[in-house]
Amino acid sequence: MKIRRSDYSKLSPFERKRRKALVKKAYRAANRERLNALRKELRDERKRGENADWVSRHDVMVKKRLTAEERLAAHIDMQKQWLASRVSPPVIPRDRVESQAERTKRLQKEWQDRNREAFLGTQRRWREKNRSLMTERKNAWDEAHPEIAAARHAARDAVRTGYLIRQPCVVCGSTEQIEGHHPDYSKPLEVVWLCAPCHRDEHVRLRKRENAKPLDGEGLFD
């Protein structure tokens, strides 16, 4: 039965979500062949681009056996390309209802930004008091994420041997608390140098992009 727009506001949030899912399902069923063709074309184009990009960087940094200065210049060039290719998460309109969990998280973040010194001091004291617990958690996390752990260990060993050289943060230019960020964990020696705050903000940005709610009219090709 078709429902009038005036009656749509009377539905419960669950019923609205269910009806929206039914509309998406009907759209996908009616356009299945076109959507599959678009997905295949997008996958092929992405695969061609990634393979070509990786082969070119691999030739530059490994096959030609460049000197340390040339390798550093190639690394800086790769970081500039990464910085230019970053895509911000979609902006969610302010008129959307903010859940209690989102509001609590936002207020916590605002308090941490206003009281940064006190927040960092509390974290430091907790880490000093719970070193064994932190070690257990770190080992458990490494076992659950072997690819990420292997990439991090490879980058750390490359820094120790001098193959990779720490550089200032590519976002803010800071030279303190420099960490290596992996845009792709399958390429452990391709790291982007970020300071600790910018590194944390980058992962927050990536999580927001992954968990962002689609706007009206979006999400039809998911």
In this structure, what token pair is assigned to residue 95? 């008129």
Cα–Cα distance for residue pair 20/213, rounded to 1 Å: 13
Q: Which residues form the domain of 19?
A: 12-65
Whether the Cβ atoms of residue 79 and residue 192 lie closer than 8 Å to each other: yes
Question: Residue 197: inside a domain, yes or no?
Answer: no
Question: Residue 77: inside a domain, yes or no?
Answer: no
pLDDT recorded at residue 78: 79
Q: In the chain, how many domains are there?
A: 1
Question: Residue 42: inside a domain, yes or no?
Answer: yes
pLDDT recorded at residue 51: 54
pLDDT recorded at residue 215: 43
Compute the Cα dihedral for 189, 87, 178, 70 and give only its sign.
positive
Question: Residue 51: inside a domain, yes or no?
Answer: yes
Question: Residue 169: inside a domain, yes or no?
Answer: no
pLDDT recorded at residue 81: 79
pLDDT recorded at residue 221: 32
In this structure, what token pair is assigned to residue 29? 């069923």
Question: Residue 140: inside a domain, yes or no?
Answer: no
Question: Residue 32: inside a domain, yes or no?
Answer: yes
Q: pTM of the predicted model, to two decimals?
A: 0.48
pLDDT recorded at residue 20: 80
Chain centroid to Cα 132, Å, comes to 29
Tens of pLDDT along the chain (222 residues) come to 454 555 666 777 778 788 888 887 887 788 888 878 877 877 777 666 555 554 455 554 454 556 677 777 777 787 787 777 776 655 555 555 567 777 888 888 888 888 888 888 888 898 888 888 888 988 898 888 888 888 888 888 888 888 888 888 888 888 888 888 988 888 888 888 988 888 888 888 888 777 654 444 343 333
Cα–Cα distance for residue pair 134/124, rounded to 1 Å: 12
